[in-house]
A and B are shown apart, each in its own frame.
Chain A
């Protein structure tokens, strides 16, 4: 009877072990933009999981059991890096017991390592708030960065899954062509945004500003990750009188209180940007994300 029970257990365990073999190549993306990018390149060859959604603050994610379970059977983890996921990803990777996706392995890719990072802090001190020593990690707001990440991602996918390398290459070619065409379209459409002075809620948009030539006057947060106090906002209101901005930018996940307060008093439009795929109803994929971002910015200018 005892041996029967063991046999049953073994059958169950083998059934579990067999599960991932039947599935496609598993990609674990920490944020929705890399999940969307992997889907663009890999299509049905990949089984893509996004650990977070666009309405979550990417700095404050917990190492949930569901994430550990997904990381366990992932063949590739694509993270932003630059310490964006420092509060949860190391635990998920360690707890998952999956040797293939540990940092340093081919199964671990950091998007930030492929692009030039802005806002490299001159000094490292927590008195300056939640600073990222490697630079600002919100690289996905500049579509030019996505081309670089797409290249790196395709190379890594081809290395890990050589059987489908041709499909990934074709996927990349298709994506790059469409993306470059879209870039021209976006840059033309966004021409009126050049030099437009803006306030930002959190330093979420330096790459977007760099791309479109927006002039970031400052952040509503006194320090990264610190909620603005009313005194600080009053100071911003004073500065707004001296050097007027035309828009206030906020990511979809961010708390509205501070930007609404300032918008109301300074008679400034608050533009809520999707920030990543799924940030609003329109931003269903990467192309729609930037279509919608530019549409919202232009609408704010009117």
Chain B
């Protein structure tokens, strides 16, 4: 097999027609083109043998072609014919490649894996260990800020893949360290259907409830370093269900989605159960659409119902418990704007949610001691409003306002002095952030906040955080 480097080839072609360069009349050019065509045809017969080597030396060929283009018309004509030969060779090469690249073996069916790294450096005025939201029954969840100084946040490890033609499986674990002990938490493990008729979708397992707006987003998708106060106080800090979810999307141009969930209700606002059946029910509806090319919106209304039995909480070193009926309503909206819908340079996002809860039942003071019980009623409410603006590529600024109202509290015959955390108080928090995302997969954020969750003790906070996404390119929800 003869091997001709394209660079040499093109130089040879240039040298072969010195006359054409000096006297480039039309007739000469026509004749030249004829000769080149003949040449090309003869080359084509040899392409089969040349293609491997040509692909290897493609870079040299393109450099050669550039220098040839600078030389003279004859040389550039020669380079063109080389480029054409080369592109045919590359075509054959690409076809060969696509066959060779076709994945083989068992590993081709591995689920998509993604890993989220999250780490923080914080500066707080108050001790995070003493964090509480005054005026609200503690949720028992992880709602406090991380430790002062450097802290390793939760690393999330997620797997997902189609199981078969009917099901898709998702699993998401969070890995963290708690007092030197490594902990693994199961955030989500569920199976969803792919082929239910009539726009229905069923999900079973552990999942983030579809209520509200932010509830379904994972912490790395949040626009701020921590959850809104309302989520911390009402769901501690989000509603995670073990159960079933049914959703239906209406076949209309206006987006309309309706969903319902039944779940064990073992977590706040439910409580640990020993009974059969479900302990928590939700229903939600979302409606959304576009306003012109530039704006998109979604609004929703959700309801969460549960009947907690002996939901315990600690207050001032004493254990208390609530049993009764808990109902929560959430109204949410999100509005996004980007010029012509092109969010890459500038965009704006406004979102807000409002929560209202009614709980009626029996409150027991000091379950391990005097165990005094009384009928009790609570009507807390709260919400947040936040705006995030990307003012140039990669850079965003945002502000968020949180407010909570402990509302009317009726403790019946119990003494309010025994339950200081339930004393009327309206927590507040203001946050501002700026973040920089050099790519879709990395984000660095600075957040400052003034947190008045504790009655009479404002906490000025500074957060520095990074969030990195490795692995599969996850698609985010709206």
Residues of A in contact with B (beta carbons under 8 Å apart): 13, 16-17, 19-20, 52-53, 55-57, 59-66, 68-70, 72-73, 83, 86-91, 94-99, 102, 104, 116-118, 120, 126, 129-130, 194-195, 197, 210, 213, 215, 217, 225-227, 243, 253, 255
Once bound together, how far apart are the Cα atoms of A98 and B200, in whole Å? 8
Contacts of B65 in A (CB 8 A): 195, 215
Q: Is B256's beta carbon under 8 Å from chain A?
A: yes
Closest 8 CB pairs of A and B: A65-B288, A65-B255, A69-B255, A99-B195, A55-B340, A73-B251, A97-B199, A57-B344
CB pair B476 A87 closer than 8 Å: yes
The answer for the CA separation of A64 and B475 in the assembled complex, in Å, is 12
**Are B438 and A226 in contact, CB atoms less than 8 angstroms apart?**
yes
In the complex, whether B60 has a CB less than 8 A from a CB of chain A is no
B255 to nearest A CB, angstroms?
3
User: Are A118 and B94 in contact, with the CB atoms below 8 A?
Assistant: yes
> What are 12 A-B pairs with beta-carbon distances under 8 A?
A56-B340, A69-B289, A72-B199, A88-B476, A91-B476, A98-B199, A102-B195, A118-B94, A120-B101, A215-B69, A226-B438, A253-B344
Q: Given A72-B249, A210-B87, is A116 in contact with B393 using a C-beta cutoff of 8 Å?
A: no
CA distance A129 to B442 in the complex (A): 12
Q: Which of chain A's residues has its CB closest to B202's CB?
A: A97
The answer to whether the Cβ of B425 comes within 8 Å of any Cβ in the partner chain is no
- Contacting residues, chain B, for A215 (C-beta < 8 A): 62, 65-66, 69
> A197 to B68, alpha carbons, bound, how many Å?
12
When C-beta atoms are compared, the residue in chain A nearest to B84 turns out to be A213
**Given that A16-B251, A126-B439 are known contacts, is A89 also in contact with B475, CB under 8 Å in the complex?**
yes
A64-B439 contact in complex given A57-B344, A194-B80, A197-B66, C-beta closer than 8 Å? no
Q: Is the CB of B342 within 8 A of A65?
A: no
Say yes or no: A217 contacts B296, CB within 8 Å: no
**How distant is the Cα of A225 from the Cα of B62 in the complex, in angstroms?**
24
Cβ A64 vs Cβ B290 within 8 A: yes
How far is B257's CA from A68's CA once the two chains are assembled, in angstroms? 10
Interchain CB contact under 8 A, B394 and A227: yes
Tell me which residues across on chain A come within 8 A of B195, comparing CB atoms.
99, 102
A255 interface neighbour in B393, B438, B440, Cβ under 8 Å: B393
Whether B473 pairs with A87 at a CB distance below 8 angstroms is yes
Contact A57 B439, CB 8 Å, known A64-B288, A66-B288, A255-B393: no
Q: How far is the CB of A230 from chain B (nearest CB, A)?
A: 14
Encode B182-203 as 1/0 by CB contact (under 8 A) with A: 0000000000101111111100
CB-based contact B197/A99 at 8 Å: yes
A117–B90 Cα gap in the complex (Å)?
Answer: 11
* Complex contacts, A65 vs chain B, CB 8 Å: 255, 286-289, 296-298, 478
Residues of chain B in range 423-444 having any CB-CB distance to chain A below 8 Å: 438-441
B343 at the interface (CB under 8 A from A): yes
User: In this complex, what residue of B is CB-closest to A119?
Assistant: B94
Q: Considering only CB atoms and an 8 Å cut-off, how many residues of chain B contact the other chain?
A: 65
Contact residues of A: prevailing secondary structure: loop
Report if A69-B342 is in contact (Cβ < 8 Å); known contacts: A90-B475, A102-B194.
Answer: no
Determine which residue in B197, B475, B477 has the highest number of CB atoms from chain A within 10 A of its CB, and name it. Answer: B475
Identify which of B192, B255, B340, B478 contacts A53 (C-beta below 8 A): B340
Contact of B25 with A by CB under 8 A:
no
Chain A residue with Cβ nearest B289: A66
Query: Which residues 165-213 of B have a CB within 8 angstroms of A?
Result: 165, 168, 192, 194-201
A69-B439 in contact given A117-B94, A213-B80 (Cβ < 8 Å): no
Of B199, B248, B290, B340, most A-chain CB atoms within 10 Å: B199
In the complex, how many angstroms separate the beta carbon of B467 from the nearest chain A beta carbon? 15
Residues of A within 8 A of B95 (CB): 116
Give chain A residues whose Cβ lies under 8 Å from the Cβ of B251. Answer: 16-17, 19-20, 72-73
Set of chain B residues within 8 Å of A87, measured between Cβ atoms: 440, 473, 475-476
Among residues of A, the one whose C-beta sits closest to the C-beta of B83 is: A213
Contact of B475 among A70, A88, A96, A98 (CB under 8 A): A88
Nearest B-chain residue to A103, judged by Cβ: B162
Decide if B253 touches A70 in the complex (CB within 8 Å): yes
Alpha-carbon distance A87/B474, docked complex (angstroms): 7
Q: Which residues of B contact A70 (CB under 8 A)?
A: 253
Residues of A within 8 A of B343 (CB): 57, 60, 62
Nearest-CB residue, chain A, relative to B256: A69
Question: Contact mask B237-252 → A, CB, 8 Å, 1/0?
Answer: 0000000000111111
B200 with A69: CB separation less than 8 A: no
Collect the chain A residues with CB atoms within 8 Å of residue B198's CB.
Answer: 17
Q: What is the bound-complex CA distance between A169 and B239, given in angstroms?
A: 53
Q: Is B79 an interface residue (CB 8 A)?
A: yes
Indicate if the CB atoms of B288 and A91 lie closer than 8 Å.
no
Q: Which residues of A contact B197 (CB under 8 A)?
A: 99
In the assembled complex, which residues on chain B have CB atoms less than 8 Å from the CB atom of A98? 199
Closest to A129 in B: B439
Alpha-carbon separation in the docked complex, A59 to B344 (Å): 9
B477 touches A63 (CB 8 A): yes
* Complex-state Cα separation, A268 to B269, whole angstroms: 65
Q: Please give the distance in Å from B281's CB to the nearest CB on chain A.
A: 19
CA distance A117 to B76 in the complex (A): 26
* Alpha-carbon distance A96/B350, docked complex (angstroms): 24
| B341 within 8 Å of A (CB atoms) | yes
Docked complex: B62-104 residues within 8 A CB-CB of A? 62, 65-66, 69-70, 76, 79-80, 83, 87, 91, 94-95, 97-98, 101
A58 and B199 alpha carbons, distance in the complex (Å): 27
Q: How far is the CB of A244 from chain B (nearest CB, A)?
A: 9
Q: Is B120 an interface residue (CB 8 A)?
A: no
Q: Is the CB of B97 within 8 A of A62?
A: no
B388 nearest CB across to chain A (Å): 13
Residue of A nearest to B296 (CB): A64
- Chain B residues within 8 Å of A99, by CB: 194-197
B19 CB–A CB distance under 8 Å:
no
- Rounded to whole Å, the gap between the CB of B238 and the closest CB of chain A is 19
Whether B400 is near chain A, meaning CB under 8 Å from some CB there, is no
Complex Cα gap A99–B195 (Å) = 4
B255 near A68: Cβ-Cβ < 8 Å: yes
Known: A52-B341, A116-B95. 17 other contacts (CB 8 A): A16-B252, A53-B293, A55-B340, A56-B340, A57-B343, A60-B343, A62-B296, A64-B290, A69-B254, A69-B256, A86-B473, A102-B195, A130-B440, A195-B65, A213-B83, A227-B394, A243-B70
Q: How far is the CB of A83 from chain B (nearest CB, A)?
A: 7
Report the minimal beta-carbon distance from A61 to chain B, rounded to whole angstroms.
Answer: 8
Give every chain A residue within 8 A of B249 (Cβ-Cβ): 68-69, 72, 95-97
Q: In this assembly, does B336 line the interface, its C-beta being within 8 Å of a C-beta of chain A?
A: yes
